[in-house]
Structure 1
């Protein structure tokens, strides 16, 4: 290598390789005369800025001024865009010409690589606190759960699990109006996420299964006529509203076993909503799913 090439290699190590030891570096090979490069540059800059807190940085390499570096990476046309982590190329991002395409590819990489940006550090800090809020909510202490999620919302107002937990705590506390307002105020991208769908299901259940002050009359009605599926359905809804998910699930399963399509499958639909509210990965849901499968296909 001549002196110019040595200087180019040193600069590349300083500006690209060394940052890649802890961050995901997007390398943009470009040239001043390249029209497509100029069109792509704002997209790369915008996405890199949006992902900066996740440990993503953008490095631009002018191929006219760095022909030796471009040759080492076998750059045959521009723009060429690579991703580097810990000194190794981990992806060819050249095909991503739109913001959404680039975001999809970066999201995939960030899930696979042990990158620790500010967002990942915040996630690690939030995770046990969110779990604590969920435990308190599952235990039936809606007021304390709401207090926890309110505090978390100050730290991470747009975190899907935090938003979902707060809305579900509002529902559990009986403040469905505030829950509805919180959902209505969400940005469209956030409102479509699975965590938020879980919160919407909780609100739907609260609307369809309002709390009952005294379960005794409903229990007596079912005891007097076990074949009265409407009474069983009303009791199961009341039990669900009271937080007795075991009894509610048993009632919905009994209705489904007695008449699968009763009231257009209302019991099964309520049970599925309950699964979503509890959490599809919850062991209790897995157990109840097996019971439902046995009723439907056994």
Structure 2
């Protein structure tokens, strides 16, 4: 379907049916504009492109304010371009001005979530309940379609690390999409590196050095989801040598905290223990 299927002009006589009533089934964005408005000419094509891209995820209704002044008054439009998002017959959000495309996309995620957004929300819920494999399955679907989706990439790193798949997690971290999520991904790197190394080197199972033996035993426990036992082992290593392997046990524990989240009871408990040992 072309963009004309999702973009249309509305007037004072058609607004109720084409925007208000339609919004009970599908979100509708009303774009208040005028032919003489320069910023409108910048924003309009972006909105039309995204409407076509959404393939029915939302409709775009174009309102010429010169021809429909009563609609401007009705919805409090004082400057243009102005966008009002309608859902279930009501204005639920909006913005004024020709904002950049990335910000328009962020706005759309809030008012007109698409199938990818729904899938990502489901995956995040699965991560929160530690259904790692189920989350991984959904995240793979997203990343196949949108390989540079940073939120999905971070979720995938968490899902992989939680299942002991350190090497695959590192591959994603090494080529991580731009975005604020990269900070959280880097926090998981030391844990991913540890898991990758223990999975690929069986010599660690017969390590003669007691400190190293305990360190790699902790890695195996973490790889199997036994976080408390794994962190107990790392704490023992740190109590004996705070600088063991350049402070790796501390970095790995911070990675576990990032994996579990700040509100997890284990994070709260072991963060305090870690601080007591280090300081």
TM-score under structure 2 length normalisation: 0.68
Is residue 149–residue 166 contact of structure 1 (8 Å, CA) maintained in 2? Answer: yes
1:82 is aligned to 2:72: no
Matched, 1:118 2:121: no
Are 1:285 and 2:267 an aligned pair?
Answer: yes
Matches within 5 A, 1:1-298: 8-50=11-53, 55-95=57-97, 97-107=99-109, 109-110=110-111, 117-123=114-120, 134-135=130-131, 145=133, 149=136, 153-154=140-141, 157=144, 158=146, 159-160=152-153, 163-164=156-157, 167-168=160-161, 172=164, 176=167, 180-184=170-174, 187-188=177-178, 192=182, 194=184, 196-197=185-186, 200-207=189-196, 211-212=201-202, 215=205, 218=208, 222=210, 231=211, 234-244=212-222, 245-257=227-239, 260=242, 265-296=247-278
Shift of the 198–56 alpha-carbon distance from structure 1 to 2, 3 Å rule, reads farther
For structure 1, the residue ranges without an aligned partner over 5 or more in a row are 1-6, 138-144, 223-230
On the 8 A contact 1:20/1:86 being kept in 2, the answer is yes
Greater shift, 253-262 or 287-296, is seen at 253-262
Instruction: Name the CA shift for 1:59/1:236 in 2 (closer, same or farther; >3 Å).
Output: farther
TM-score scaled to structure 1, two decimals? 0.65
Q: How many residues align?
A: 259
Task: Render the CA deviation track for 1:131-164: whole Å, top value 9, x for unaligned.
Answer: 79x54x6xxxxxxx5x994686247634436633
Structure 2 contact 116–142 (Cα < 8 Å) conserved: no
5+ unaligned residues in a row in structure 2: which ranges? 1-9, 147-151
* RMSD of aligned alpha carbons: 4.1
CA distance in 1, matches of 2:182, 2:277: 32
Change (3 A) 1:187 1:213: same
